[in-house]
Amino acid sequence: MKISKYLCALAIAGACSTSLSAATLSFNLVETGVNTVNLTVNGSISSLAGWTFVTSFQTQQSYIQPDRGAIISFGGGLADLYAKATVAPYSIGSSSSNFGGIRLSGDTVGFQAKQGGDSYLFLPKGYSAGTPINSSTVYDNENLSSLGLTSGTSYSWAAGPDIIQINVGPASGGGTSAVPEASTSLGLLGLAAGGILTRRRSKRAA
C-alpha cells in the first residue's frame, strides 16, 4: 500500500510538471554550404533570478570568441546585459580570435561563459521572462573548423531553472550533454510511475 501511494505521488508530480517554468535558450551552429556557417538562436529565459543587471548597450556586430565561450547574434537593437558567477565549461574552443558575422534577422541575444569571474547574458532590451527569442546570423567564408569549433559538440550551462546551450554542427553522442529540464525529468518519472502502477493492477486482476 505504501509503495502504491508513493508511486501515485510520483505520477501526480509528473502530471503537474507542466506548471514548472524551466526553459532552454539554444545557440545552434551548422555548416549550410561551402564556407558558410549559420547561427540560429531560439528558446527563452523563464527567470532572471540570480542574474544581476549591468547595463543596456548597443552592440554593432554578431561575433564568436571560442576561448571565452562567447557568442552573440546581433539583432540591430539595444541589449540588456546581465551577469552572474561563472560556471564551467569556460570555453567552446581554443581560439582567441573574434569572428564577426552578418545579421540575418531577429533579436539581439548572446552568452559569454567567462569574463573574469562572471558569465554574461545578453537579452533584447526590456526582455520579459518567458518571451520567445529568435535570431539568425551567417558567417561567410568560414567553416566550423576555421571558427575554432568542433562539429558534433554541445555545451550547456544551468542558469537558475533554465538551460543555456551551444550546439555545434550535427548532434553527436560525444558532446557535453545538456542537463535535462526539470519538467522533462518529472514528466518521464511520472510516466514510469504510471506504468508500474498499471502493471501492479494487472497482476492483481489476474
Q: HSE on the CB side for 115, CA within 13 Å?
A: 12
Secondary element (H or E) of residue 5: helix 2-15
Task: List, for residues 43-96, the tens digit of each pLDDT value.
Answer: 999 999 999 999 998 877 899 999 999 999 988 778 999 999 988 899 999 888
pLDDT band for 183, please (50, 70, 90 cuts).
Answer: very low
SS (H, E, C) 118-176: EEEEEEECCCCCCCCEEEEEEEECCCCCCCCCCCCEEEEEEECCEEEEEEECCCCCCCC
Give the Cα-Cα-Cα angle 124, 26, 21 (nearest 5 degrees). 80
Write down the mean pLDDT value for the chain.
Answer: 78
In the numeric block, the cell 561563459 is attached to 113
| pLDDT for the residue numbered 151 | 92
Strands 153-159 and 109-115 come out as unpaired
Task: Output the pLDDT for position 91.
Answer: 93
Rg (CA), the chain: 20
- Tens of pLDDT, residue by residue over 56-68, are 988 778 999 999 9
**pLDDT in the model for residue 181:** 38
